[in-house]
Structure 1
């Protein structure tokens, strides 16, 4: 890449014909397997609360600053608080087969001026983890962030010790950018934060990869994947010369 210089012969970044991205709206995002909609305590609390205890322990709350919730009332109180927030902006994921909410996430650190937004507060129940549902959720999110809202950068951050979250980020096509040491204190413990991102120039290749993975042709009669998402992503990156 040719280095761009200013009038003082200093290297500078390339010019960006930039206005601003848009704020996330309230419209639902619907795929073949799931629907993403703004979190609503009355509509979603019971479904979500019932979906989380389907594992024998509370390990999926370890790296979050809240939870687990011992009663439905305590969970409803929590939801009443977070649904009032505009940043983070919380969403529920609805399984279209059952019509029930099975997980939540938030769009946060929303910077429309610079076109940067982060996905965080990811709490997927066991009914959603490691399923096509979670992959389609990310596919819908990527399309929404880059195509509909016009962002330049999509971030994923997590506790550096949270191995499942780091594995998920890499599987979804996020690029690891490094560790911010002593970035936070969570539950009285130190947190080093791992940073990942996807930028707009990478989106088209990822869209192609997700579309191929989600295709019915990629699943056998038992519903098992034939090719991994990472294989499709690697192929697209080769085609794009990355």
Structure 2
């Protein structure tokens, strides 16, 4: 027995276009434009918790941070964005596409690093919506992936909140910073996206937030 036939050619690669929303704009990373804001905002996490499950960082100096950006973040895969908040008027986070496989129509979101001022905000949710929307609607992918350290409960909870379905654990997948990492895998496929999209649109409506930008109703995707 074989799987159903699929009319599919190829998905597109991410382009240098900005992804614009109501609350944020995602700009393909430009070191001279984005690095200073990002470094300063990442420094606000005095306990360095944002770097705990990432395979790099923390960076103690602007020079070392900028050097890392140049060596790792200017490739086509991973393809990095800097997050600009209209409200805060500064760049306050990063995220990327990776494991980009056009022949199969799969793409992963990862290297997500939100400074403390972006965490638990409508801006942070919109970042994920814009990247998801672009992956399916503009690039034409069939599958959108999320993986994280299986010990990272916050990331696993975020994936579920954002509509990803848990698929399983790849044991001993990586060694990062001298420690074993088992990876938890999640995904969204194209047939699920239409329903999820409606939930995001309803959540992100201006009428769902008060004058202090606090949500009135939670993100409802099921």
TM range (shorter): over 0.9
TM-score (norm 2): 0.97
Cα deviation, 1:176-226, whole Å, max 9, x if unaligned, reads 001111111111111000000010001111110001111122223443222
Structure-1 separation of matches of 2:35 and 2:212: 32
Structure-1 separation of matches of 2:2 and 2:197: 30
Return the index of the structure with the highest Cα Rg: 1
In the alignment, what sits opposite 2:109?
A: 119
Work out which of the residue numbers 160, 165, 181 in structure 2 matches 1:191.
Answer: 181
Structure-1 separation of matches of 2:64 and 2:80: 18
Structure-1 separation of matches of 2:176 and 2:134: 30
Cα deviation, 1:48-95, whole Å, max 9, x if unaligned, reads 011012233111111111111101111111111123321111111111
Structure-1 separation of matches of 2:58 and 2:44: 13
Q: Which runs of 5+ in 1 are unaligned?
A: 1-10, 235-242
> How big is the shift at 1:98?
3.4
Structure-2 separation of matches of 1:202 and 1:175: 10
> How big is the shift at 1:105?
1.1
Is the contact between residue 59 and residue 65 of structure 2 (CA under 8 Å) also seen in structure 1? Answer: yes
Name the SS of the counterpart of 2:221 in structure 1.
helix
In the alignment, what sits opposite 1:233?
A: 221
Q: Which runs of 5+ in 2 are unaligned?
A: none
Work out which of the residue numbers 133, 149, 162 in structure 2 matches 1:159.
Answer: 149
Is the contact between residue 219 and residue 226 of structure 1 (CA under 8 Å) also seen in structure 2? Answer: yes
RMSD: 1.1
TM-score (norm 1): 0.89
Is the contact between residue 109 and residue 118 of structure 1 (CA under 8 Å) also seen in structure 2? Answer: yes
Structure-2 separation of matches of 1:187 and 1:78: 16
Bigger relative contact order, structure 1 or 2 (CA pairs below 8 A, ≥6 apart): 2
1:91 aligns with 2:114: no
Length, aligned pairs only: 222
Greater CA deviation, 89-98 or 30-39?
Answer: 89-98
Structure-2 separation of matches of 1:102 and 1:222: 19
Name the SS of the counterpart of 1:233 in structure 2.
coil
> How big is the shift at 1:138?
1.1
Runs of 4 or more consecutive aligned structure 1 residues displaced over 6 Å after TM superposition: none
Structure-2 separation of matches of 1:207 and 1:86: 26
Structure-2 separation of matches of 1:84 and 1:222: 36
